[in-house]
Structure 1
Amino acid sequence: MGRRQRLISTSILRAIFKAKTSSDPDKRPGLLARILAFFSVFSLALSRYRADLFRHLRNKIWQIEEEEYTESFRSPSKGKRTDLISVGDLGYSGSTFFTSPNSKYLIKSLPRAFEQSFFRQRLLDVYVEHMQLEPASLLVRITDLLYSPQTTLGSFFGTTPDHHMVMENILYGKSSCSKDDQDVWESYDLKPNDYFYPERDIADGRLAPESVKERLIDVFEDKVRLTIDQKEDLVAQITRDTKILQDNNAVDYSLFLVRYPASMSSADKGDVPVPPGRSAPWRSGLVSRDGRWVYRAILLDFFWSKDALQAQAMTGLITSYNFLKWGRDHGPMSITTSSDEYRTRFLRMVEDMIEIPDSSGQPSGELRTPSQSTRNLIEEV
């Protein structure tokens, strides 16, 4: 881990282990503390945003024991320095990622101000209410939001993110497997792939380097093999989850799908550890209908609002680009389309990837439009 990442890790851990944290985001420290904080470049003084609210989510809604949660951020080796584990820069947004030492939790930076402000000011209270009503929700479980209460040189110049989100890691259990077994775990960050992605498509894809385009959009070329009841439960849950995103004009969210061979859980190897907290089939692992795979899935990255200035600017850019292409319309981007349209395509993507047996017992999964049951669900919700 480089010096910058180590200092960011230390800032995050200080906020996690702080004995008493104010839940009031408007409380200001003294003048000297503000002056010192302003000159921070990498080591920012972070606080927990609305600490009581997130503690309620952890303890009451998701049944995560508080001491166990805190201990997840300590090194398992006594006397050894506690550091988060750097996972590198995984996202196109420029976010950096860490995992807790035991890999139960994932920490993601939010370098774009409009994303964290949308979540804090518009979505957070709705998110909490939804989690109370839908404990099996597939929206990712966000266990903490850390922020810098003061303006700093590091955040002003973009050298260090001043917001970090702690969330569940549904890849938990992978690191406890042997190296050979780790290699057969698969993960996919899935979005509707029929949108226009200028980073991938403009100038025949030469706008961005291959390293960026490879992580821009994943393609799952197999099928998720479920029973009819499992499929209906999954679609119904995602329909309810995406309704609150649609109502708040959120777009560009994704389905994070993980699968590993079911043979990895055996009498010889033992069971693969499951993520902490309240159990749910798509978190602890759902065995495929044919018994070959174990699936996990959650909804991620629901922080891009169609109302954001960046989304409106990109809408104008794409409109201009389509005009300059002499009428060759590339259609909307996932970040510029309407929330209604994005949700419709997202649900269609989910249905397309599921294979269920038909009345004769044979697999059936080629659904190009939402089924009648899904359309009914959308209308009901």
Structure 2
Amino acid sequence: MGRRERLISTSILRAIFKSKSKNASKSPSFLARILAFFSVFGLTLARYREELFKKLRNEIWRIEEEEYTESFRSPSYGKRTDLIPVGDLGYSGSTFFTTPNSKFLLKSLPRHFEQSFFRRRLLYPYTEHMELNEASLLVRITDLLYCPVTTLGAMLGSAPSHHIVMENILYGKSSCAKGDQKKWETYDLKPNDYFYPERDIAGGRLAPESVKERLIDEFPDKVRVNIDEKEELVAQLARDTKILQEANAVDYSLFLVRYPASMGTAEGGKIPVPPGRPSAWRNGLVSRDGKWIYRAILLDFFWAKDALQAKALTGLVNSFNFLKWGKNHGPMSITTSSEEYRTRFLRMVESIVEVPDSSGRPAGELRSPSP
């Protein structure tokens, strides 16, 4: 781990382990603000709406508080340790870590409009939805850490001022043998019929292959489940994406994980399941043919259609079309309407899930439930 990652890790751990005191709610002194301003990597972080997220963890998702806190300690020494950097998992420039036991994933939100959208517009609908929908597949966000004062590091972009802590549905992978870990497959799935400038303009010469490969994943197979499981999945995703549409969110994705069933089912106890309230698509659903175990959640719902960046990119696409740079291009996934994105997203889910017909042979697509 480099110096930057180590300092960011330390900042996160201090916020998690900081005891709640009578003085915790007091504003920092003028001197403290001056000293904090010159922080470049080691920012002072705090928990945002601490009691609200604790309620989500303990009452809604049934994650024991002691288990949660201990996830941030080294299992070997029973003390604080550095978080584990995961590397570059995305296209947004985010920094990723896992807790030492890999139960939880930490992701930075380096773009202001993302964390602002989540805090101001989505947090309360998200909380209410989670309370009313025990089987929701929206990723469980267990903490939001933020920097309460202005800092040089946040202004320069050398260290992120906001981080989310969320469930890690890859939990259990690290407990497998090295050879078996390579058998786990992950897919970050979005509708692939949108316009992606890096991929679609001028033969895709705007970005190298390494960048284009991270834009969208394509699932090369089918998710094989029974009819009830498919209907339940599509219905739940329809409910989950409804609140995202109402918040004008776009560009979210279905994070699909699969690993060979021969490695052991969750029921067999060989692969540990994520903590908290049990969920079929989190713990692992065995495929109809018995070859795979699937896990799935809904991720990355932090981009608002009416954000300034989305409006700017809409103008960019219109400029491309006006200049006749290739064929006319439709909307990008981040500039389309939230209703249109939801429709295409649910259509994509239906297209990758295969169920048998009455004769036992694979059937075509089922009609999605009414939004």
- TM-score scaled by length of structure 1: 0.94
Secondary structure at the counterpart of residue 97 of structure 2 = strand
Match of 2:73 in 1: 74
CA–CA distance in structure 2, aligned partners of residues 97 and 208 of structure 1: 23
Pick which of 201-210 and 51-60 moved more.
201-210
Change beyond 3 A, Cα 1:316–1:246: same
Q: Counterparts of 1:191-206 in structure 2 under 5 Å? A: 191-206=190-205
Q: Counterparts of 1:22-41 in structure 2 under 5 Å? A: 28-41=27-40
CA–CA distance in structure 2, aligned partners of residues 266 and 360 of structure 1: 28
Q: Counterparts of 1:1-150 in structure 2 under 5 Å? A: 1-20=1-20, 28-78=27-77, 82-150=81-149
Match of 1:319 in 2: 318
Change beyond 3 A, Cα 1:21–1:254: farther
Does structure 2 retain, via aligned residues, the 8 Å contact 1:21–1:48? Answer: no
Letter of the structure 1 residue corresponding to residue 175 of structure 2 = S
Tell me how many residue pairs correspond in the alignment: 370
Match of 1:338 in 2: 337
C-alpha distance after superposition, 1:139-176 (max 9, x if no partner): 00000000000010000011110000000000000000
Give 1:326 shift: 6.7
Does structure 2 retain, via aligned residues, the 8 Å contact 1:311–1:336? Answer: yes
Give 1:28 shift: 2.2
Secondary structure at the counterpart of residue 106 of structure 1 = strand
Match of 2:296 in 1: 297
Give 1:23 shift: 12
C-alpha distance after superposition, 1:74-124 (max 9, x if no partner): 011217760100011221110010000000000000000000000000000
Secondary structure at the counterpart of residue 172 of structure 2 = coil
Match of 1:377 in 2: 370
Give 1:209 shift: 2.1
Pick which of 354-363 and 320-329 moved more.
320-329
Match of 1:243 in 2: 242
Q: Counterparts of 1:218-229 in structure 2 under 5 Å? A: 218-229=217-228
CA–CA distance in structure 1, aligned partners of residues 280 and 3 of structure 2: 40
CA–CA distance in structure 1, aligned partners of residues 155 and 36 of structure 2: 12
Q: Counterparts of 1:250-261 in structure 2 under 5 Å? A: 250-261=249-260
CA–CA distance in structure 2, aligned partners of residues 22 and 117 of structure 1: 27
Q: Counterparts of 1:269-284 in structure 2 under 5 Å? A: 270-284=269-283
Letter of the structure 2 residue corresponding to residue 240 of structure 1 = R
Letter of the structure 1 residue corresponding to residue 3 of structure 2 = R
Does structure 2 retain, via aligned residues, the 8 Å contact 1:59–1:66? Answer: yes
Runs of 4+ in 1 over 3 A off after TM superposition: 21-25
Give 1:323 shift: 1.4
Give 1:360 shift: 1.3
Secondary structure at the counterpart of residue 175 of structure 2 = coil
C-alpha distance after superposition, 1:293-329 (max 9, x if no partner): 1000000000000010000000000011011117821
Pick which of 227-236 and 75-84 moved more.
75-84
C-alpha distance after superposition, 1:2-36 (max 9, x if no partner): 000000000000000011179998x5211111111
CA–CA distance in structure 1, aligned partners of residues 6 and 315 of structure 2: 40
Match of 1:360 in 2: 359
Does structure 2 retain, via aligned residues, the 8 Å contact 1:22–1:48? Answer: no
- TM-score scaled by length of structure 2: 0.96
CA–CA distance in structure 2, aligned partners of residues 203 and 184 of structure 1: 36
Does structure 1 retain, via aligned residues, the 8 Å contact 2:188–2:255? Answer: yes
Does structure 2 retain, via aligned residues, the 8 Å contact 1:104–1:168? Answer: yes
CA–CA distance in structure 1, aligned partners of residues 325 and 160 of structure 2: 41
Give 1:47 shift: 0.1
Give 1:273 shift: 0.4
Letter of the structure 2 residue corresponding to residue 70 of structure 1 = T
Does structure 1 retain, via aligned residues, the 8 Å contact 2:265–2:284? Answer: no
Secondary structure at the counterpart of residue 217 of structure 1 = coil
Change beyond 3 A, Cα 1:255–1:21: farther
- The CA RMSD over aligned residues, in Å, is 1.8
Q: Which runs of 5+ in 2 are unaligned?
A: none
CA–CA distance in structure 2, aligned partners of residues 79 and 24 of structure 1: 26
CA–CA distance in structure 1, aligned partners of residues 23 and 314 of structure 2: 37
Letter of the structure 1 residue corresponding to residue 242 of structure 2 = K
Match of 2:151 in 1: 152
CA–CA distance in structure 2, aligned partners of residues 3 and 234 of structure 1: 43
CA–CA distance in structure 2, aligned partners of residues 23 and 193 of structure 1: 50
Does structure 2 retain, via aligned residues, the 8 Å contact 1:21–1:51? Answer: no
